[in-house]
Amino acid sequence: MLRLIVFILIFALFLAFIILNLENRCDISVGFSTFRDIPVFLTALFSFTFGMLFAVPLVSSLGKGRKKEPKSDSSGKFNKKPKAGLSSEEEIKKDAGSYGID
């Protein structure tokens, strides 16, 4: 219900912006052509849309390199299942090996 109210408020602000800027017009130059007398709200709408279209691939490509961290319980210890056949003490002794570093 709260999300609906927030959506309606944002939509109302957006609508008020459009109504207040119906008479404001600007020229947009894209280098090879100039569009004349474009309403300001359309300029803002298209700028926001193109910004989102270019930002989504960038953000998704930056997030692919991250690894998920294991979840921890309330005591701060990681939930790691012990290996089959080993008790927790045996597992600690096995993990404390030299790892080939001499």
Task: Write out pLDDT tens, residues 40-86.
Answer: 888 888 888 888 898 888 888 877 666 666 665 566 555 555 555 55
Rg (CA), the chain: 28
Put simply, whether the predicted model's pTM sits higher than 0.85 gets the answer: no
Give the H/E segment covering residue 36.
Answer: strand 34-39
- The answer to whether the beta carbons of residues 13 and 5 sit under 8 Å apart is no
Q: Distance between CA atoms of 89 and 96, rounded to whole angstroms?
A: 11
In a domain, residue 31? The reply is: yes
Task: Tally DSSP H helices, then E strands, for the chain.
Answer: 3, 2
Question: How many structural domains is the chain composed of?
Answer: 1
Domain membership of residue 5 (yes or no) is no
* In-domain check, residue 35: yes
